[in-house]
Each structure stands twice: as structure tokens, then as C-alpha cells.
Chain A
Amino acid sequence: VKVLTLIEAVTDALRTEMASDRSVIVFGEDVGLEGGVFRATAGLQKDFGEERCFDTPLSESGIVGAAVGMAVAGLRPVVEIQFSGFAFPAFNQIASHVARIRNRTRGAMCVPLVIRMPYGGGIRAPEHHSESLEALFGHIPGLKVVIPSTPHDAKGLLIAAMRDPDPVIYLEPARAYRAVRQEVPEEAYTVEIGTARVEAEGEELTLVSYGAQMMEARQARAALAAEGRSVELIDLRTIYPFDGRTVVDSVRKTGRLLAVHEGPQSFGVAAELMSTVMEQAFDRLEAPPARLAGPDAIYPMPRGERHYLLTVEHVLAEARKVLSYEP
């Protein structure tokens, strides 16, 4: 056991799998010599050689498209897109090939590829560096999409993604990279993709979030606990295929749902969770399912970030509303 930050856990997962599986190769822009702009791949080139961890030209579609070929041919590439906002040039490869080759070939071929990318705001970055694209990726059939919020899940989900026979979009909450520390086992372990995690049990409200937004959700739960309110906190962890059962089971117990995420509200993950709860726990609801999400707005540049991001006060206010709702 060692104490790691979330980004150190990402590096640890890569290192662990590279050591045990020679088919794992890591590449992208500045990931080799430099170890990535956030240092997620720090030291890997030194330890595993330039053949297994290398820098590519500035070529997002090229990185993903070449990785498709490598994966079909039997390797397990893990590629980095420097920021999720730079993923758009690779969208054709992701949506047209990464997600479709198993189906297109009726299972004769698969694409065991992991596409890692930092996502989300709050890091005072220039334009295009703060996007939350999980709903976009989640809407592409054939992809799995995961987002860790803790170092333990970061390592376990990434190892699970690398061992998965199908492509996984692995979104890393940049704002939480160094904000969370946790004990993480030294050895390899997996966190099953498709499972949410009940982080803290409670009786009166189900609060669901994921990624960096979990930090505000935790603070809100603690503040409400101090007021004597009992909130169950769930980290969704997988965007697709999402674990509706865990959320529904929780809401059947609490009768109230609040889903919170940083990305745009319309057609977002919270909307899907609310629909699922309406379908499967309607008879137990004591308040309308609620959501708190980013606006349907373009993510502002740093001087305006605060107009977009959700604070603990936002979460608290909405949670109190749901808790106090009476028909």
C-alpha cells in the first residue's frame, strides 16, 4: 500500500500493466520524453524504452487511427489525447472505427484500445482545454466510458480498461489530479467497468456524481451531515454502460435523487439517471428527481470559469430543496 494522488495512480496503473504485458504500448503527444503535459506518463519511457512509450507528431486522428490498426493486429495501445477538447479531430476514427469494428466484423476483430484524456475545467486553462465530453462519448454505441474520482478507482479502472477486449474512453478529471490522495495497493487490481460505488450510505437523499465534481458532492454531504441530514453518496464511475441498478436501489431506499455533474445539462448523464429512476423507482419517489449540471454554454475562458463551475454552495442549495420537497 502506498499513498498516491489520482494522477500518480494513473501512472502506477500504466507501469503495472506495461511490466506484465508486452502488448501494452503507450503513446501520444509529449507522453514520451516529457512524460505528458500533466506528467501522467512520467518515467515510463525511461523504464520501458522508446519503443513502448513514445511521442507522436501532433496528429489526434493519426494517433487514434494508427492505434486502431495496432489493436486489431493484437496489441493493447493506450493513447493519450492531451486535452479532451483536442479529441474532435479524432472523432471520425473514434465513432466510425474504434466503436464499430467488432460489430462490423461480427466479432472477427476487436479493438482493445484505451483512449485517455484529461477533461473538465477549473484549471485556469486556455480555450479548448476544459471540455466535459462524457455525454458525447456515452452516446456512441460500441464505446465504454469511465471516469475515476479517487486514486484507488483511477488505478483499478485503468487496469480494467487495459485488459478489456473493447475500447474504453478513460476520462481523467484534471482538476482532481493532485487534489485527492488515497492509499492504493501496490499490486495490480481491477475495478469492474459498469459498476457504481456507494461511497457513503445515507437514508434521506441519493446524491450521484462523478469525476472532479465528486469533491463538491463530498463536501455537501459532510455539511448536511453536520445539520443532521443523512445523504447517500454514489460515485457513478462508469458513464457507459452505467450502473442504473445501484442508483435505482439507492433511490428506492431514500425516495429522492439529485444528480450532479459539471458538463452541459441538456441530454447529459443526469438526464439519463433521472429517466432511469422515473422508470424503475417511480412508486418510491418522495420528490421529483433533480439535477444540477453545467449550463448549455461554451466553457468560458479563465476569467469567467466561476460562472460555469458548480460550487459546494450550489450543491447544498439544490440538495436542501430536494430534501425539503413536499407534495
Chain B
Amino acid sequence: MMKRDGSPARGELESTLAAATEVLTAIASGRFDVRAPRLGDGSAADTLAFLVNATAEEVEHLVSEVEREHKQLERAHEHLLQSAKLAALGHLAGGIAHELNQPLTVIQMVTDLLREQGDAKIADRRADLDLVHGAARDMARIVGSVRMFARPSAFELVRTPPLVPLEDALLLVGEDLKQLGIAIMRHIAGDLPCVSGDPERLKQVFVNLLTNARDALRDTPDATRREISIALHGADGCAEYAIADNGSGVAPQHAERIFDPFFTTKPVGQGTGLGLSVALGIVRDHGGELRHEQVPGGGARFVVRIPVAGAEVEP
């Protein structure tokens, strides 16, 4: 160490040492924002303070970098887990659907044939037969949605005007929404470029999201204005759709699980718990993104991003 101006400034050196110790102690206990005061005179004490501060800054930077990467890794891991879960489930679901189709065909065929018979005894039990037949139809519907989930990967990405699948979905569920007195607010940007998509599957995504919004609004008091807002605009190489309702929203304790297959909060018999996971699978097949956001003041918003045709898909 160099001495300046003859006698060492012992008091300054000691207080800088104390400050440096404080900085290093803070780092050791996980705090990186403590700094040693600088004299700014280029003395040995000042150099020490500079070096300690520089070290603290570097450590702070490295730690935040590591934290950021850790978070990224965690997200990638979750993403991977979710994909693996979806794939395994798809496989299982396909097998079960196939096996269930046999007995379901038998039940539907037999009840159909019995109902057609003119036998008086059978006519007496017509209501029971109708129940069995209806139950078989419900099961077929569930199997159908499971199959959608397990559908093999034969899907085709074509240039699709982004509004088309959304309009098609509205065509399917629009009547239902009208019956429940649900108002649809549209915020659609004009002149959007085509997305790279499978129109049928994208339609399925919006049918599922709109159906969920409808079910969320079904239970709101009649006096409330029921509203679904549909937005579409361009955002960094993607078409960004947002479908929001003013229902009661997703309970915080459910938010993490809503994309899990078979997770549902709907009454028994009303939901298969596959709508959102099917939608997520389809959106991911498009290299897109599907996320849920809470709407301030209640309600849920789902944001779908689908890459524009020809645009680079970020890894």
C-alpha cells in the first residue's frame, strides 16, 4: 500500500476498513446494496473503498443474473412438465376413448333398436330407455372431447386471416350467448396480417374460451350486465386475441391449475376439465402463447398470441 503526504491517515483507513467490513458482511448475509463511502482522493483508503464497492456491484449483478436465469429455467421446466403431462394424457385419453367407444356403440344401438320396436311392454318403459340413451349420448360427448385432446398431430398450418377462426367460433356459440343476455363488445383492429394457423383448431380454442366465459357469466345475478369483450390486435409478430368476461373470475387458489387436464370448477356433468388444456395444446402447436390474467374488478381474461405467417417464431 502507498502512503501519501507523509503520515498515514490512520483514522480514515480505519473507518474505510470498518465500512468495507460492513459491505462484505452484508454480502455474506445476502444483501448487496451496501456501499463504502468514498473519499475521492485516490488514497489507499479510497482505493480500498472503490474496490470493495466494485466487488459488491459485480456480486449484485451476478446474483440478479443468476436469479433471472433460474426463473427462466423454472418456467421452461414448468412448460416442459406441462407438455409432457399433456402428451402422456393425450395418449392415455386416446386409448380410453377407443375402448369406451365399443360399449357406447352397443348401448346406443340397442336403445335405438328397442325404442323403434312397437312392443307395448317396451313402450311403457320408454322414458327409462330415453334416459339410458341420453346418458350414452352424454358419454359420447365426453369421449368426443377427450378424443379432440388425443388427436394425432395431422394438422396443417395455412395462412389464415386472424379474425376467421374467431368469427367461426362466435357463429357456433353466439346464439347461446344471446339467449343468456350476454353482450359482446368487440375491439378488433383492422388490416391485420394473416397468422400461420390451422383454422379448425384455432376455432376450437375460441369456442373453448367463449364457452368458459359463458359458463362464468351464467351464474351471475340477472341484474348484472353480462359482458364478454373480444379484442384482437397485432403485437410483435403475433396476432393477440383477448377474451374477457365480467364474471367472478378465477379464484387465486385455482389460478395455477386451470390449464391442468381434468381440472374443473364447473358442476358435475357440465365440464370435462379439458377445455383449457386442449386450448393450450393447440396454441402451443402453433408456436403461440395462452395465458390467464385477472381483470381488475372481477372477471377473467385469456390472452392468445398466434405468430403471424412468415414471421420468425421465437424459440
**A, B bound:** no
Chain A residues within CB distance 8 Å of chain B: none
